[in-house]
Amino acid sequence: MKLQAIKKACLAGGVIDILNTKCGAQWICNGEAAWPVEGIKITESNVGILFDLTEKQDMETPIRETEWKDPRFPLTPMAEDVQLEDLGDVLSNGKVYKALRDDGGVLFIDTAWLKPAAKKDANWRFFERTTPGRGPIVAAFCDMLAGAIIMPVTGEGIMEALVRIAREPLRALGTPAEEKPTAEQTSL
């Protein structure tokens, strides 16, 4: 748990939510992603001190503590989890998103929300978690336990960027843009 990275993410999201789950785990949430709390009990009264919030940040950022009933927040993999294929990163409007695919299509998550949970040389695995009546969330694992739970982003800007890329002609490496690659250059 990287407290300064979580603080930065919460301030960027404009809220600090402390989620106490039914299974006894505790999460810090910025409205778009949540990170597990490890080794310390966080409350509304101590989060400002823990995050070393300035007086202005403390006054401007809502801090809430909630008994969270959403069953999709255990730290360990769930039987219903659907593994997502990591298709790589997409840059759109100055932000980097991770494209994740399952049988139902592609989801995008903001890679900034992985930073508070990132470990050196993290080998991320992603799983979709759904509950009837709620949209999907992505559980990100970089070891045996979830490092983050992330809401997928709406992909309008991302899709526009991908469509623009898809419409561009493909060219072989080392071929100037004005030349069309030969069949020999584009086949194995």
DSSP code per residue over 115-143: GGG--TT---EEEEE--TTS--EEEEESS
The predicted structure's pLDDT at residue 175: 57
With beta carbons less than 8 A apart as the criterion, state whether 40 and 84 touch: no
Q: Residue 142 carries which side chain, given as an amino acid letter? A: C
Q: What is the pLDDT of residue 17?
A: 93
Q: What is the 3-state secondary structure (H, E, C) of 31-91?
A: CCEEEECCCCCCCHHHHHHHCCCCHHHHHHCCEEEEEECCCCCCCCCCCCCEEEEEEEEEE
Q: What is the pTM of this model?
A: 0.78
Residue 111, sorted as left (phi over 0), alpha (psi -120 to 50) or beta, turns out to be alpha
Q: What pLDDT does residue 34 have?
A: 93
* pLDDT, position 182: 60
Q: What is the pLDDT of residue 126?
A: 95
The pLDDT assigned to 85 comes to: 95
28 to 3, 41, 115, 134, 154: CA distances (angstroms): 10, 11, 14, 20, 22
SS3 16: strand
Amino acid at 78: M
| Residues facing residue 137 across a β-bridge | 129
Delimit the domains of the chain by residue range.
3-68, 82-167
Per-residue pLDDT, 18: 93
pLDDT in tens, the chain (188 residues): 688 899 999 999 899 999 998 877 899 999 999 999 988 888 888 898 888 988 898 888 999 999 988 777 777 778 888 999 999 998 887 888 899 998 888 889 999 999 998 877 778 999 999 877 778 889 999 878 888 999 998 766 677 767 777 777 766 655 565 555 565 555 45
